[in-house]
Chain A
Amino acid sequence: MANIISPPPPTDPGIGSRFGRNGTDHSSAFSSNGDRQSTLGARWVGRLGQFWDRYAPFRNPFSPKYRQDPLDDDRDVGNGVHAVTKKTDYWFNRELSLIEQEATKFAAQWAEKGLPRHDVERVGVLEPEQVLGMKCLELFRQWRRRVRVKMQDQIQTATANLNRLIGESRSDVNALALTDSERKATSAQIDGYRQFKEPDNTRVGYDRILKSSFGFWIFAGILTIAEFTANFPVFRLLLPMDSTLVQLASTLGEAAESHTWLAGPLVLFQDILLHFEAFLVALIAVVILVLLGKTTGSSARSIVAFRASESPMAATTIRSHRRQHIVVFVAGLLGIASVLSFMYFSRAQIAETAQSRVRSDSVALRQALLDQTAAGTDLAKTAATTQRVTDATRTLRQHLDDAAYASTVQRINNAIVWLNIGLVLAAMTLGFVYKKEDLTDRQGEHPALKPLRAKLQALEREALGHARAARIAMSGAAAEAGRINHLLESHPLRDWQGKQDRLQGVIVQFRGENGRLRGLDPANIVAFRQPSTIVFPEVDENEELRRPTEFNQLLEDLDHVEAEFARVATFAIPTGVQPARTRLL
C-alpha cells in the first residue's frame, strides 16, 4: 500500500537524463510540496536535460557516456505496448524499491530493539509486515489501474489520430478531384486556343506611305545635298588646303570662270574636289547621318506598327521583330547624337581655328613687307617681294572673310543644330514612310496559351501534392488503425503473477534482514514461523481493453477514403504509380 510519502509516478520523460532522476537517487524522487507533483524547477531541469541529451552540441562522439548499448532495445520503444508499459514498469520497480528499503529499515529498527523475540510466539501479523503487506497490495492495485488507463489512453489517442488522418485523406482526395476538374477545363481551353485560326485574309504587315521609289530617292538626294551644303563649308574651314592645292584651285577656278553661267557650280564643285579631306569627312558624316536617320525612321515604324495583341498568331514573330528593331532604333539614335555632337563641337571650334589662321597670315604679311623693304632698289627682288606681299594680303583678306564666316557660324551654332535635327527628322520621316513589311509568315500562337500552360502545370503540381499528402495521410491512418488493433489485443496484465511474486518478497526480505542484523537465522525466530504470504486480488489476465465505439466506423471511413482515392487517382494523378488499396478490417 502506498503511503502519503510515496513518490509520484515519473511522468516526466526527462527521467534518466543527467539532470533528472535515474531511479537511484531516492532522496530527489519525492515531491517537496507534498502534492505528488515535482516542483516547477525540477520540471525545467528535467526538460533541459532532455533537450541536452537530444541536441547537446560539442559532445564527444567517442565518450563512453554517450555510447549507446546496441543490445539495449529499450531505446527503440516505438508505439507498441512496451512503449506504453515501460514507464509503468519503471514506476513499479521504483515503488517496490522504496517498499523494500522501508522493509530493511523496519527490520533494522526492530532488530535494534531485539524484536520480535525469537522465542516468543506472536499471535497475529507483525506490525511491520502488516504495513509492508498493505503497501504491496496498494502498489499492485495501482500498477493494474495504471496499465489499463495508460493502454486505454493510448488507444484513444490513436483513435483520434486515426480520425484526423482520415479527415485529411478525405480532404486531399477531394482536392485532388477538384484539381482534376480544373485541369480538364484548362486543357479544354488550351485545345480551343490551339485550334484557333485567324481569318485567312488577315495580313500582318503594312505598305509604304510614300509609294514612289523615284520620289524616295529624290528626297533622299535632296536631304543629302542639303546636309552636305550646310556642313561642307564648316569642314572646309576646319581642314584647309596646302599651298599647292591653293595654286591649283586658282588655276581651275580661272578655267571655271570662263564657263559663264556654269562658273558657280563648277567653282563649287572644284572647291569640293580640291578640299578633298573636308569633302570626304563631310560626305561621310552627311551620308551616315542620312542613313542613320532613314534606318532609325524605318525601325521606328517597325516598332510602332505591330502589336502582339492585335495579331496573336504572329505574336512570337512580332516580339522577335520588335526586339531587333528596338536595338537598331537605339543604335541609330546614338549614332545620330554622336554625329550631330561631332558637328556641333566642330562648328564651335572653327572661329578659333580661323582666327589662328588670320594670326598666322598676319605674321606672313609682316614678313613679306619686311622682305620688300629689305629688297630696296633691287628690281628683281622687289618684284618677288611685292608679289608676295600682294598674295599675303589677299590670303589674309580671304582668311579674314573666313574668320568672319566662322564667327557667324559659331554664333548661330545652336540654330544650325536645329537645322541638322530637322534634316535628320526629315530623313527619319522618309525612312518611316518608305518602310514596308510583311510578317504574315507567322510562327506564333494565341497569347492566352502561355498563361494557361502555366496554370495547367501549377494544377498538375498541386495534384501531385494532394496525391502525396493523401497517400501519407492514409498510410498514417492505416498505421494508427493497426496500432489500435495491436494495443487492443496486447493483454498488458498478462505478467501480473510476476509482479505479485516480487511484492511477496518484501516480507521475506524484512524477516531475513531482521535475522541477519540480530545474528539469528530467521527460521529460529518463532514469530517468523507464521506464513508471510500477502493476499492479492485475482486478476483476469485475458481481460480485454475497451474498444473505442467509433473505431469500426473509422475503419469503414478509411476503407471508403482509400477506395475513393483509388478511384480518383486513376484519372486525377498526372503521372505516377496508382496506390494499392489496403484492407485493415
Chain B
Amino acid sequence: MKRILVVVATVVIAAGCDSAVGSESPNTGHSYVVGVDISGSRTKAEMDESKKLLDGLIDRLQAGDHLTLIEVYQGGRQPARQWTDSIRSPRKAGELTGTERTRIEDFKAIARMQSSILFDSVRTKEIQTSDIFGTLSRAADYAKASRKRPTTLLMLSDMMNETPDVMMTERQEIPGKTWIRERAAEKRIPQLSGVCVVVAGADVSTARGAAIREFWTKYFEATGTHVSPDNYRNMISDPAEVSCSGQ
C-alpha cells in the first residue's frame, strides 16, 4: 500500500513539474501587430469600424498568439502608447485546459481594455497627424522579435502620412518611386519580409486614395513584402479576413 502511494505521488509530482517547465513554445501561435490610427483625418465611423475589427481580431486570438498595439500618431516612440503581450502557448496543442482558457479570457479582457483606450474619442480630437513610416518601423521591430511566428501587420489607418517630411494630404505631395529608391539605398526602409500586411480604413475610391495605395504598394514591396489589393481595403467586416493567402 505504501509503495503504491509513493509511486502515485512521484508520478503526479513529476508530471506536474514537467508540465510547469517551459511555459511558452516559440513556434506556436500567431503574431499580430496592429497600428491604430486615430488622427483627425479619420471619421468617427471609420474609427468605430476599426475598433470593431480590432475587437473581433482580439476575440479570435488563441493560446500562443502575440498581440502588439501601436498608436500611429506618434510613430510608436512613446512606451505609454504601445502595448505588446502574448497568450501562453497551450501545453498540448488543441487541448485547452480550464486555466489556459481563463488565461486567454484574461488576455482578451486586457486587450479590449487597451483597445478602448486607444480608440478614446476624447483623445481623437487632439491628434491631427499620423506617422505611418515610424509606425511601420516599429512594427518591423516587433515582427522581427516574434520568434518566427507567422506575423500579421494590421494597419487600422487611412494610410495618409502626415509628417513634416512627407505629407500625403495632397496628391502631388505623395512621394514617387525615386523617393522610395533613395530611402532604400539609404536603408531607411524597414524590413517586413514574411509579414502579412493588411490595411483597413484606407481610401480606395478617390484618385488621391489610389495614389496613396500605389505608393504604399511600392513601399511595402521595398520592405520585402507584398500587399495584395484584397488586403488594402476601406473596411474589413470579418476579422477572419485579416490574413494573407498562403499563410
What residues make up the interface of A, taking CB atoms closer than 8 Å to B?
A: 217, 221, 248, 250-259, 266, 269-270, 273, 377-383, 386-387, 390
Q: Please measure, in the bound complex, the distance between the C-alpha atom of A390 and the C-alpha atom of B102, giving whole angstroms.
A: 10
B residues 101-143 near A (Cβ < 8 Å) are 106, 109-110, 113-114, 117-118, 120, 123
Residue in B9, B13, B117 whose CB lies within 8 Å of A377: B117
11 contacts between A and B (CB under 8 A): A248-B20, A251-B19, A256-B12, A258-B97, A269-B8, A379-B80, A379-B117, A379-B118, A380-B79, A383-B114, A390-B106
Interface contact A254-B100, CB-CB below 8 Å: yes
Tell me whether A258 and B114 are in contact (CB under 8 A): no
Tell me which of A250, A256, A383 has the highest count of chain B C-beta atoms within 10 A of its own C-beta: A383
Residue of chain B at shortest CB distance from A259: B15
Q: Is B99 an interface residue when CB atoms closer than 8 A count as contact?
A: yes
Q: Does B216 contact A (CB under 8 A)?
A: no
Q: Interface on chain A toward B: helix, strand, loop, or mixed SS?
A: helix
Q: Which DSSP category, helix, strand, loop or mixed, fits chain B's interface? A: helix
Is the beta-carbon distance between A386 and B99 smaller than 8 angstroms?
Answer: no
- CB-defined contacts of B80 to chain A, threshold 8 Å: 377-381
Q: How far is the CA of A379 from the CA of B118 in the complex (A)?
A: 8
Known A-B contacts A378-B80, A379-B81; A258 and B110 likewise in contact (beta carbons under 8 Å): no
Q: A256-B16, A269-B12 are in contact. Are A379 and B83 (CB under 8 A)?
A: yes
Interface residues of B in 70-92 (CB under 8 A from A): 79-83, 85, 91-92
Given that A255-B19, A379-B69 are known contacts, is A250 also in contact with B117, CB under 8 Å in the complex?
A: no
**A251 touching B20, Cβ below 8 Å:** yes
In the complex, what residues of A have CB within 8 A of residue B110's CB?
A: 382-383, 386-387, 390
Distance between B114 CB and nearest chain A CB, rounded to angstroms: 5
Cα(A217)–Cα(B5), bound, Å: 14
Q: A259-B15, A383-B110 are in contact. Are A253 and B1 (CB under 8 A)?
A: no
In the complex, A271→B198 CA distance in Å? 47
Interface centre among A217, A255, A266, A390, by most B CB within 10 Å?
Answer: A255
Please give, as numbers and ranges, the residues of chain A lying within 8 Å of B100 by CB-CB distance. 254
Q: How far is the CB of A387 from chain B (nearest CB, A)?
A: 6
Contact with A along B5-45 (1 / 0, CB 8 A): 00011001101111110010000000000000000000000
Whether, in the assembled complex, B164 has its beta carbon less than 8 Å from a beta carbon of chain A, the answer is no
- Is there a chain A Cβ closer than 8 Å to B98's Cβ? yes
Kindly state the separation between the CA atoms of A390 and B83 in the bound complex, as whole angstroms. 18
Residue of B nearest to A218 (CB): B1
Assess the A379–B114 pair: CB atoms within 8 A. Answer: yes
Which chain A positions have C-beta within 8 A of B92?
Answer: 258
CA distance A378 to B78 in the complex (A): 10
Which residue of chain B has its CB nearest to the CB of A253?
A: B99
Using Cβ atoms and an 8 Å threshold, which residues of chain B touch A259?
A: 15
| A269 engages B109 (CB within 8 Å) | no
Is the C-beta of B238 less than 8 angstroms from some C-beta in chain A? Answer: no
Are B83's CB and A255's CB within 8 A? Answer: no
Known contacts being A251-B20, A258-B97, A377-B117, is A386 close to B109, with CB within 8 Å? yes
- Minimal Cβ-Cβ distance residue in B for A263: B97
Roughly how many angstroms separate A248 CA and B18 CA in the complex, as a whole number? 13
B69, B99, B100 — which one has the most chain A CB atoms within 10 A of its CB? Answer: B99
- How many Å lie between the Cα of A426 and that of B123 in the bound state? 73
Bound-state CA distance A256–B11 (Å) is 11
